[in-house]
Structure 1
Amino acid sequence: MGFIRFLFLLFSTVLVAQTSIEVTAIDTTPIKADQIIAIDNFDTFYYTVNNILYKKPKDKTPINYSNVQLGTPTSINAFNPLKINLFYQDFNTIIILDNRLAEIFKIDFNTRQPYKNVSHISTGYDNTLWIFNQDLQQLQVYDYKTDKIRATTVPVQSRVLDLKSDYNYCWMLTENYLYQYTYFGSLISKFENKGYTSLAIHNENIILKTNTLLFFKSKKSETIIQLKTPKLLINQFLLTNETLYIYDSEKLHKYQLKIK
């Protein structure tokens, strides 16, 4: 009887251990920014103040970019530092910058046929972007050099909340589901949205946010596990390798996340 009770307690402990992941605090840096865009493996820091994008390499003077005509970007993606894309939803326009923040390409969907009403974008492979076409309710792989759609997904039935990608996959969070697609536009996974509002990815690992909590999904598992983080205002969050960044509008908190 005692042995059975021991097994029960052991099994219960394992279950508890699987329901949350602890993170280890590394440091905290005071910073004032409107938006933290990205922090790469070399500690190059991308952020915005007003309508200006700053790129600050470690221990170097930052460089910046702004577009007076287009104003403040709706979203910025620096996954590929050689082709940083800025999306201005009010103008249905994308600006692509090189690693020195010089303009190398402009995509104005208002002047291209057929017309595309775009709400979200993210970096793709080669000369492509993932774009969500609101009129068709479809995610598309768009080649901006040839002005062609390379792949199209099946239409979704709920509002898109967030869109993230790497060279191989794209993750689209809607009010109902989290979808994962290949760069051919094929759906490979679909999870119910249990209150998630945004996501961050790195190396196919995912961080999901609800109003006050963060959750983690490993690329090696189908399970979504809560992260045990300090009680902070989570204005923004980023994932770089096994480092989790949380920005509370005044300080950038850095945590070690041991991914198994």
Structure 2
Amino acid sequence: MYFAHHMKKLIAFFFLFSLSVAFGQNQKIYANTTDTLNIIADNFIGYDQFAFYYYIKDDVLHKTKGKESLQYKNPSLGKITKVDIQNPLKIVVFYENFNVAILLDNQLNEIQKVNFSENTIPITVSAIGIASQNRLWVYNILDQQIGLFDYIKNDYKTISTSFPESLKYYQTDFNTFYWIDNKNNWYSCDIFGKIKTRGKTPDFDVIEIINESQYIYSKNNALFFEDLEKKQKHEIEISKKTFKNFYYKDQILSIFTSEGIINYKITTP
């Protein structure tokens, strides 16, 4: 009798538990609009820690805040492939077609030009980002490896084992190179070349990695926050239904649309 009663209690507990897990999947994160910026841009890059925001229009990089506005253009190098603004005193502008990275200071003056084709070890770069200690993250498609390029010493060092290029998406910070392959497997590589499997992401149109277990992604103009460690997924409720891409930093979600940028304050679980 005691056992049956105990089992009933257990079953009731598991029923409630599974309900709460299912409920946890569907809890929405509500976003409150803080401000909007009317800009016409091809690509919105994001904000730096001094509240300047960056965007690209006709392959010109713009940096603006209030009435302050700066521009950088280098038409001879064609299309801007990537801009890294993590260190606003060393902005990286990458021109993949020419295999060239330009480093800019906070006034968007050119500090240095790195032509990877002129390197003693041949490097063809398909992914780039700023790393710690005067180095750049580089994915070299010639040997399919991640390396670190010291732009002061002009010294290149391969750090990872080889893996076939199927970088559906990549993102870097000073100490980590993250990428997601075509099968939606998510990996990370640290500055010592240690590769870890992070898990599998859902199919996405746009994604942004927040940390080692969390990301925000959009699919068919719906936005989601997911935590792989906690096994939680929440839809983010925003007023704008169509958008080009988004940028997330410090609880501010910036939605980039054809009219400009809408900033929302969100609280992630």
TM over 0.5: yes
Taking the aligned partners of 1:134 and 1:211, their CA distance within structure 2 comes to: 31
Query: What are the superposed Cα offsets for residues 169-199 of structure 1, whole Å, 9 maximum, x if unpaired?
Result: 2211221221112121211333224323543
| Identity value in percent | 28
Instruction: Describe the SS at the equivalent of 1:122.
Output: strand
Alignment match, 1:235: 244
Match for residue 53 of structure 1 among 40, 61, 69: 61
Q: Is the 8 A contact 1:181 1:188 kept in 2?
A: yes
The reply to whether residue 122 of structure 1 matches residue 129 of structure 2 is yes
Cα shift at 1:82:
0.8
AA aligned opposite 1:44: F
Alignment match, 2:224: 215
Alignment match, 2:142: 135
Instruction: Describe the SS at the equivalent of 2:77.
Output: coil
AA aligned opposite 1:247: F
Alignment match, 1:225: 233
Q: Is the 8 A contact 1:203 1:241 kept in 2?
A: no
Structure of higher CA gyration radius: 2
Taking the aligned partners of 1:192 and 1:30, their CA distance within structure 2 comes to: 36
Query: What are the superposed Cα offsets for residues 63-112 of structure 1, whole Å, 9 maximum, x if unpaired?
Result: 11100211231111111101100110110110010111011111111211
Q: Is the 8 A contact 1:173 1:198 kept in 2?
A: no
Alignment match, 1:33: 41
Q: Which moved more, 1:1-10 or 1:66-75?
A: 1-10
Unpaired segments ≥5 residues, structure 2 = none
Tell me which protein shows more helix as a share of its residues.
2
Q: Which moved more, 1:158-167 or 1:11-20?
A: 11-20
Taking the aligned partners of 1:45 and 1:83, their CA distance within structure 2 comes to: 15
Unpaired segments ≥5 residues, structure 1 = none
Aligned length: 258
Cα shift at 1:7:
7.0
Instruction: Check 1:100–1:36 CA distance in 2 against 1; reply closer, same or farther (3 A cut).
Output: same
Taking the aligned partners of 1:243 and 1:88, their CA distance within structure 2 comes to: 29
Alignment match, 1:66: 73
Taking the aligned partners of 2:68 and 2:42, their CA distance within structure 1 comes to: 19
Alignment match, 1:148: 155
Taking the aligned partners of 1:29 and 1:35, their CA distance within structure 2 comes to: 14
Taking the aligned partners of 2:217 and 2:134, their CA distance within structure 1 comes to: 28
Instruction: Check 1:209–1:142 CA distance in 2 against 1; reply closer, same or farther (3 A cut).
Output: farther
After superposition, residues 176-191 of structure 1 pair within 5 angstroms as 176=183, 177-191=185-199
Cα shift at 1:206:
2.8
TM-score (norm 2): 0.84
Q: Is the 8 A contact 2:141 2:165 kept in 1?
A: no
Aligned-pair Cα RMSD in Å: 2.7
TM-score (norm 1): 0.86
Taking the aligned partners of 1:192 and 1:249, their CA distance within structure 2 comes to: 31
Q: Which moved more, 1:181-190 or 1:205-214?
A: 205-214
